[in-house]
Amino acid sequence: MEKISLEEYGNAVKSCLNVAQQPTGGGSIVAQVLLSAYDGELYQLDVAGLCNLDRSIYESAITVIRGRYDTCREPHEMIAGGDAVFCNLCREWSGLKLAARAKKQAKRQW
């Protein structure tokens, strides 16, 4: 398998950001991909959620994951103004933090 180039990685981050900035189920999954690549200690991807994406955005999400591995660069480094963009994404999707998800899950338990 060939390594993901910086250009491919950057394009995938941009594509995923377009989806992640939408308040939808797909937006949530793609935000998880981006945020877990950005800070895996605070955010983690629900891998099963990838099944809910259409094929093109799924491919972009996988490219982000592979790009993070192949380039050893965080996704915010791949776009102009990435620090601000990802800070905003963290605010918009604060409910995806592990602690928030665990708290929500605990309320669902019997």
- DSSP codes, 52-82: GS-HHHHHHHHHHHHHHHHH---GGGGSTTH
- Note the pLDDT of residue 60: 98
CA distance 108 to 93: 20
pTM, 2 dp: 0.90
Do residues 17 and 89 make contact, with C-beta atoms less than 8 angstroms apart? yes
CA distance 86 to 95: 15
CA distance 96 to 23: 13
- Would you put residue 95 in left (φ > 0), alpha (ψ -120 to 50) or beta? alpha
- Note the pLDDT of residue 107: 72
Reading the chain (110 residues) residue by residue, the pLDDT tens digits are 899 999 999 999 999 999 999 999 999 999 999 999 999 999 999 999 999 999 999 999 999 999 999 999 999 999 999 999 999 999 999 989 877 766 777 676 65
CA distance 26 to 55: 12
